[in-house]
Amino acid sequence: MKDHGSNSNLTRALALSQEMFAAAESADLASLERLDAERLELLKSFRIGTQNVNAADGALLRQISQLNDRTIGLLEHQRRSKGRDMDLAAVGRRAVAAYSNTRQPR
């Protein structure tokens, strides 16, 4: 049997997961890290205090997991996009450096 406090921990963890996704959308990594640490403590507390997971708690855990996957996917997409931007900038810098040394003779 589980107590009411565990379910409130999962409900709060789900709300934090939603906040984490919003923070990822706005690339607010500091908030994302803080929210993740808070959510982790709630999930640990739930795990320690729960012997059996009922259907309602299982549904909350699935929602948390799905939001977590979406957040990770969004962050990975942003990381790849920044990597491409950095690669493109490096190509541009090399091109400028290569062509800046060539001057037409007078």
Most confident of 10-24, 43-57, 78-92: 10-24
**Average confidence (pLDDT) over 44-70:** 93
As for how many domains the chain has, the answer is: 1
> Does some domain include residue 86?
yes
> Does some domain include residue 66?
yes
> Does some domain include residue 45?
yes
The CA-based angle 67-70-78, given to 5 degrees, is 140
**Average confidence (pLDDT) over 6-11:** 84
> Does some domain include residue 61?
yes
- Token pair for 23: 């923070």
Which residues span the domain enclosing 28? 4-100
- Residue 5, pLDDT > 60, answer no
> Does some domain include residue 105?
no
pLDDT digits (tens, 9 = 90+) for 62-88: 999 999 999 999 999 998 988 887 888
Separation of alpha carbons 105 and 69, rounded Å: 59
> Does some domain include residue 16?
yes
> Does some domain include residue 106?
no
At residue 1 the predicted structure's pLDDT band, cuts being 50, 70 and 90, is very low
